């Protein structure tokens, strides 16, 4: 270790991708520069020296591809470990072997949630049907009572008519007045 390095804190080297210089690329003023090596004015990308301790662009691309494959494998939930062939057969379904797979074990919470939602959906449907049946029954009762009220109102009107009253009072000494009525004034 150099004496200058003892004063500086232990810093890990940054991962830098070395890209060949091209006319279309511009340097970014905010990008960190390495002060130990002077900038080169190489016009040919093949002539640009690779810095010591830095990762080349090819290996960096390979590393990024490997990381992307690992992430994609996690995201797509592909399990090749302890899965056998991974095919689902009737024997596996009837024997219950598919229940031991990692994919199924990870999805058990979602399956339980879907079952609960299905139960709630079915119970809501039955409750709605009960309410509809009750509403129809109440509508029929209301119509029946309206018809009964109309019938009773018609009968009451018929019984309160003067001619009907006179027919019922045949034996009575009460008769319909033939004189005009007069009003008594009160002070």
**Tens-place pLDDT, residues 35-79:** 555 555 545 555 555 454 556 788 888 888 999 888 887 777 554
Q: Is 148 a residue whose pLDDT tops 90?
A: yes
- Alpha helix (H) ranges present in 42-184? 57-75, 90-95, 102-106, 108-159, 162-168
Q: Please give the pLDDT value at position 131.
A: 97
At 137 the pLDDT is 97
Q: Provide CB contacts within 8 A for 139, sequence distance 6+.
A: none
Q: 17-31, 50-64, 123-137: lowest mean pLDDT where?
A: 17-31
Q: Are 79 and 103 in contact (CB under 8 A)?
A: yes
Q: Which residues pair with 55 in a beta bridge?
A: 17
**How high is the mean pLDDT of the chain?**
75
Residue 6 in this model has a pLDDT that exceeds 80: no
Residue carrying structure tokens 């662009």: 57
pLDDT of residue 123: 97
Q: Is 56 helix (H, G, I), strand (E, B) or coil?
A: strand
Does position 156 have pLDDT exceeding 80, yes or no? yes
Helix, coil or strand: residue 165: helix
Q: How far apart are the first and last CA of the chain?
A: 132
* Mean pLDDT within 117-124: 97
Of 64 and 115, the one with more pLDDT: 115
């Amino acid at each position: 270790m150099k004496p200058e390095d003892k004063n500086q804190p232990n810093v890990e080297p940054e991962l830098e991708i070395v890209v060949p210089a091209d006319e279309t690329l511009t340097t970014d003023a905010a990008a960190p520069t390495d002060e130990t090596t002077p900038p080169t004015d190489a016009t040919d990308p093949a002539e640009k020296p690779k810095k010591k301790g830095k990762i080349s662009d090819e290996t960096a691309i390979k590393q990024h591809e490997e990381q992307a494959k690992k992430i994609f494998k996690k995201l797509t939930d592909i399990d090749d470990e302890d899965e056998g062939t991974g095919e689902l057969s009737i024997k596996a379904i009837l024997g219950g072997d598919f229940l031991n797979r990692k994919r199924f074990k990870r999805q058990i919470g979602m399956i339980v949630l879907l079952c609960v939602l299905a139960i709630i959906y079915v119970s809501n449907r039955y409750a709605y049907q009960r309410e509809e049946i009750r509403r129809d029954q109440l509508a029929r009762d209301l119509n029946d009572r309206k018809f009964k009220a109309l019938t009773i109102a018609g009968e009451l009107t018929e019984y309160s008519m003067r001619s009907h009253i006179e027919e019922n009072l045949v034996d009575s000494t009460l008769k319909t007045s033939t004189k005009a009525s007069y009003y008594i004034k009160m002070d």
